Chains A and B, each alone.
Chain A
Amino acid sequence: MEREIKKILIANRGVPAVRIMHTCRDLMIPTTAVYSTPDRLAQHVLMADTAVHIGEAPPAESYLNMDKLIDAALCTGSDAVHPGWGFLAENHLFAQKVIDAGLIWIGPSPKVIEMMGDKIRAKHIAQKAHIPTIPGIDNVKSADDITKWMEKADVSFPLMLKASAGGGGKGMVKVEKADQLAQAFAQTQSEAKKSFGDSTVLVEKYIERGRHIEVQIVSDIYGNVVHLFERECTLQRRNQKIIEEAPSPTLDSGLRQDICFTAVRLMREIGYSTAGTVEFIFDINTRKFYFLEVNTRLQVEHGITELITGLDIVSIMIDVARGRRLPFEQEHIFPNRWALEVRLNAEDPKNFSPSFGAITRLKIPDGPGVRIANGVYEGSDIPPYYDSLFMLLMTAGPDRGDAIKTMDRALSKNLRVEGVKTLTPLLLSIIRHPLFIAGDFSTRFIEEHMAELISMFKEKNSEDEALKIARYVAEISALGPQKWM
């Protein structure tokens, strides 16, 4: 069953593309990058062995354009496709097309993607496997359906409306009150259509102050399923994670065993192979967890699991795609570090308004305990068409306190990004907040503490201040003495 992979096309851009290329280099497998017009000189393009232009800026014309991606693989002699995360990573049609073109798909089978991609079906499967799930209703046709279900099942607000085909926080709308329902429903439908090409919507009870915990799974085509322990991804803004850590500070070892083996059970049940994640929401009050969804792909935050286990998940994915067996069993996995990840998005830290443009200056953190996954370089552009994530910053240490201290150093003393605004000040405020340090937070932590977090932004450094002075010198050198003097 073992197959050879000679060259991998990465059907993605930015951070995920660069991350995958790193492992391909380790494995001495050449890579093909794809790029849209504005990405012509992007970091992933410069890093690859070959690069193919696949269309204009809008994702539908480039990174979501299946035929062009497959043509690019074929014409560059690539025999495998890794989709990264986002874009077509969880699109079963694309996976099927890749396979039909005679290429190797580095990911789970199209069947499993389809099954788990339909949130409604995924929940049914979980229920059948006796895995706890959140009360909810599928395939909603109108706001009225929701109201009726709420009465019948005795469910109260808040609710979460989701695109059935969704993930990554897109196409999700929280509803607090009855009078918001109609507009929220319409918005979810529209976003679902736009992001995933499918307007089906599902509704669930929203667990207040829930904690988001997920289990990393790796499995091969021979039925071996191993978990790589959990990650805590509770800190989110607008339903998108921005800080993740492994292990979870919420779980004790009993619950940890419980949740990890529940995940293994589900993945075994559905015949999953390669890397994937089972997401749960944990109710801190009842200390119960509920199944949320399966992410049938590599996840953004996989790096912290790699840090605590010492494994390379991308490498495992490639090996599984080559038909190899997992080289370890469950009892061989011993996490012995605490790891933290922050997502550097090009956004205004005060209001998350996107900030695109050229990165005029970039200094990447270094020093002990730091790992960077970076999608840009000094001088490169962050175009407005895609995700605002441009760098992942991870730190690890013997325990949580050490990982936080190293992160503080990396963010406050080591990192410099000029030209675009980044979340850095907010991330720093969060990791310095006493509740974060105490491990006491929920998915609503950021919205609940935003004003306080912003008030902690102040910190100035002499380098920024010197640049202000330099700006003055430049202007006066060019313009001469000013009237106001």
Chain B
Amino acid sequence: MKNTIIIKPNTPAKEIVAKVRSSEGVFITSTGMRDAGQSDFKNRHRIHDLLLLAPFYNNMGLFSSECHGGARWHVGVMNRKEDPFEEIEMLRELMPNVLLQTLIRETNLFGYRPYPKNVIEYVVSKVDIDVWRCFSFLNDVRNMRTVAEAVMKRGRLFEPAISFTQADWTTNSYYLGLVNEMVSLSGGTDEIILCIKDMAGVGSPARIHSLVDAIKQKYPDLLLQYHRHSTDGLAMPALLAAAKAGAKILDAQEDTFTRFYGQPPILGLIAYLEESGISVNIDRDYVDASVQKVREWISQYEWAESPFKGYDYNVTKHRMPGGAFPSSFEQAEQGGFLHLMPAILTVMSLYNRIVKYFDVTPGSQITWVTCSGIVNRYDKERGNAGVRYIISLLTKFVEEKNQCMDKMEKNEQEDLLMVFRNAPGDFKNLIMGGYGKLPMGWPDDWVYESTFGDEWKDKIKERKNSSPLESVAQDDLAKLRAEFADAIGRLPTDDEFILYLMHPKDAVEFILFREKYGEAPLHLPTNVWRQGLQNPGDRVEFDLWGKPYCIELVSKGAEHEGLIHVVMKVNNKTRVYTVETPRAKKIEIRMAKSASDIGAPINGSVWRIGNPERGALKAGDIVHKGEEIANLEAMKMENAIAAPFDGHIVEVCVRLNDTVQEGQLLFVIEKV
């Protein structure tokens, strides 16, 4: 047993920094619980499986476990039906010795739009995370201010990250400028860690050595973490170069998670560093146990792996980040344009020299949607020839003519001035300054003409130079909360409300799912979660709230008129479930929705339409406020329905003696 340093949660930020600084060798952040899954498995790794690693992590001597944030939050709510708050709670219980780390997108938090200050403060104050790695896809450090303040005020560790790419304009002095801003934002170097976030995996060993060295020379006390994806195939030497130049924390994942786009394998990395004379603060036995544990269940996730296999050195040109690989390919597959991927990646590599920013959320999505849109348009209009044409046009413009419009032919100029015409709203928002300032300034004027057409000059005048923190209006939290309560039919908890703030539509669906299916996402093993029970006699056993449960399949019926009957034993009691298939006939009941719709207040039968004085009512009749217009009977009690206002009846939606359900539409009345 090795004597590893364990850094526990609730250690003050300053002490964490001091401890790492004064220790020999390097520390490891494990991305096994977040980025590994995001980069190669579409973030589908379920907490049910990840929890199996927690007891090993607890003793491993990790600097931290990156288990939160990025797209894991959204995919959790949308696809895995897991709540990021409940994940934290479960992890805290099983690995109380490990710092939990998140990845947060400055003003965009865990969502996709710039949030106002009051939302940022509210969210950061409620999420129980120890290490807050915060990046900006524009490297606009101004945008990090509110997150930094809120995190440091809580006494948690703030980790500003430089979004790194390798390009002619990303020089050491450019990055040192950012480091200066970050250090001054954080009040010095004693309470932060600074991260170089190489999200695409493009930093060559020499380049990384040079950058780390330059920062260490300027700020010898500053703790540096190097986060790198493997896409170009050069991760290991690049990490060693960073460590040799003075980086203290490196990111790695279980070897058994390793495919192509995530972090490098941890056991290999440890061996490589140690052989090179750099000690690693880690207990290899626990690492090994964790690596083996992953092997037991990782084959359950083959379906989630990217269809685009193998390292891709061209990433140094197209710069698609590791975290975006599987989701982009998934979209291409679903959209039926997987065959266009090589062309799209080529267009991306040219595009990112025209509009300069960093390909990481939400920038990577803007790049992806814009470039895949351009290629798809040419493919639809002119087929393969069109795709070849747009690539050659952009190549000529960028590589041969140095982006000089005057040097292009007339018809080529016309085409370039149309290339962004169908660009998505987020692209427009980006070049108008909606997300903050672009790292190399505004794109050339022709981009505006191409995007906005005739209005382009006005648009250029409207560009904003401020940070969204200054321009985005505060959200009315009470009002949003009420809207949300309306959608789910009850008051939400604070945690649920934050889910709603990040992804409104998906949060509502998530909550309704969980109300219907309870904790199914937390307790079912992954094969049952995906496939259910296959054969009679198949069973699933789990503990729920401290008690044992068993569900066993007895039989599955054949589909009949859109229904399948499933017989199961739940703790030995036989139950029959009627499951509707997509072919099930839906009897549509119209419900009262708008103010002019009069709905049934209870379940019952309509025994009178109208009232005794004037008899039955029909469409076209005038009714007066308070006048009885129908009467429902249920269990021998009468319920008079009164007209809520003066009006005329547009439609009588039920017939005498109909059985109606609560909320069912009875009348449409137009106010007069």
Contact = CB atoms under 8 A, between A and B. Distances in A.
Interface of A: 59, 170, 183, 186-187, 190-191, 194-195, 238, 348, 351-356, 361, 384, 386-388, 462, 464-481, 484-485
Interface stretch (B402-410, B546-554, B643-651): B546-554
A194 B634 CA distance: 13
Nearest to A388: B635
B326 interface: no
A478 B636 contact: no
A183 B524 contact: no
Nearest 4 CB-CB pairings of A with B: A477-B532, A468-B518, A476-B532, A474-B577
A478 B566 CA distance: 7
B579 A475 contact: yes
Nearest to A238: B637
A386 to B, nearest CB: 7
A353 B517 contact: no
Contacts, number: 141
A419 to B, nearest CB: 12
B575 A465 contact: no
A191 B532 contact: no
Nearest to B533: A477
A186 B579 contact: no
A469 B531 contact: no
B635 A386 contact: yes
A473 B532 CA distance: 5
B604 A354 contact: yes
Contact of B570 (A59, A238, A351, A467): A467
B79 A485 contact: yes
A469 B515 CA distance: 11
Contact of B636 (A387, A462, A465): A387
A472 B517 contact: yes
Interface of B is mostly: mixed
B638 A191 contact: yes
A478 B579 contact: yes
A162 B640 CA distance: 17
Given A462-B544, A475-B577, A477-B533, A469 B604 contact: no
Interface in B544-583: 544-547, 549, 551, 553, 556, 564, 566, 568, 570-571, 573, 575, 577, 579, 581
Given A474-B566, A485-B530, 20 more contacts: A59-B636, A183-B628, A348-B662, A354-B604, A354-B634, A384-B635, A462-B549, A466-B570, A469-B551, A470-B575, A471-B577, A472-B518, A473-B520, A476-B529, A476-B531, A476-B532, A477-B532, A478-B577, A479-B532, A479-B564
A468 B520 contact: yes
A328 B567 CA distance: 57
B142 to A, nearest CB: 38
A168 to B, nearest CB: 9
Given A465-B545, A485-B79, A473 B516 contact: no
B517 A462 contact: no
B163 to A, nearest CB: 31
A469 B517 contact: yes
Given A190-B612, A475-B579, A478-B566, A384 B636 contact: no
B603 interface: yes
A469 B533 contact: no
Contacts of B524: 469, 472-473
Given A388-B635, A478-B579, A473 B628 contact: no
Contacts of B486: none
Contact of A355 (B575, B603, B659): B603
B516 A478 contact: no
Contacts of B531: 476-477, 480-481
Interface of A is mostly: helix
Contact of B551 (A354, A470, A475, A480): A470
Interface of B: 44, 78-79, 303, 516-520, 523-524, 528-534, 540, 542, 544-547, 549, 551, 553, 556, 564, 566, 568, 570-571, 573, 575, 577, 579, 581, 601-605, 612, 626, 628, 634-638, 640, 642, 659, 662
Nearest to B509: A484
Contacts of A477: 531-534, 553, 556, 566, 568
A353 B634 contact: yes
Given A474-B577, A478-B579, A484 B520 contact: no
Given A191-B638, A469-B517, A470-B575, A479 B581 contact: yes
Contacts of A475: 532, 566, 577, 579
Contacts of B517: 468-469, 471-472
B532 A484 contact: no
Contacts of A478: 532, 556, 564, 566, 577, 579, 581
Contacts of A388: 635
Contacts of B612: 186, 190
24 contacts: A353-B601, A353-B602, A354-B634, A354-B635, A361-B575, A384-B635, A388-B635, A462-B544, A465-B518, A465-B544, A466-B549, A466-B571, A468-B517, A469-B524, A469-B551, A470-B568, A472-B517, A473-B524, A473-B533, A476-B532, A477-B532, A479-B581, A481-B530, A485-B44
Contacts of B518: 464-466, 468-469, 472
Interface centre among B79, B534, B579 (most CB of A within 10 A): B579
Contacts of A238: 637
B634 to A, nearest CB: 5
B662 A353 contact: yes
A476 B551 CA distance: 13
A462 B530 contact: no
B568 to A, nearest CB: 6
Given A355-B603, A470-B570, A470-B575, A480 B532 contact: yes
Given A353-B634, A476-B532, A478-B579, A471 B516 contact: yes
Nearest to A485: B79
A348 to B, nearest CB: 8
Contacts of B547: 462
A469 B638 contact: no
Given A195-B636, A471-B516, A478-B579, A354 B532 contact: no
Given A462-B547, A470-B568, A479 B636 contact: no
Given A194-B638, A384-B634, A475-B579, A462 B545 contact: yes
Interface centre among A195, A388, A470, A473 (most CB of B within 10 A): A473
B604 to A, nearest CB: 7
Contacts of B577: 470-471, 474-475, 478
B287 to A, nearest CB: 31
A468 B545 CA distance: 14
B635 A387 contact: yes
A479 B556 CA distance: 11
A481 B44 CA distance: 14
B634 A476 contact: no
A471 B577 CA distance: 7
B516 A468 contact: yes
Contacts of B605: 384
Contacts of A466: 518, 544, 549, 551, 570-571
Contacts of A190: 612, 638
B544 A474 contact: no
Contacts of A351: 602, 662
Contact of A469 (B79, B520, B602, B635): B520
A170 B551 contact: no
Given A194-B638, A468-B517, A469-B544, A474 B579 contact: yes
Interface centre among B542, B556, B604, B635 (most CB of A within 10 A): B635
A304 B649 CA distance: 52
A364 to B, nearest CB: 15
A37 B214 CA distance: 91
Contacts of B575: 361, 470
Interface centre among B44, B517, B529, B556 (most CB of A within 10 A): B517
Nearest to B570: A470
Contacts of A353: 601-603, 634, 662
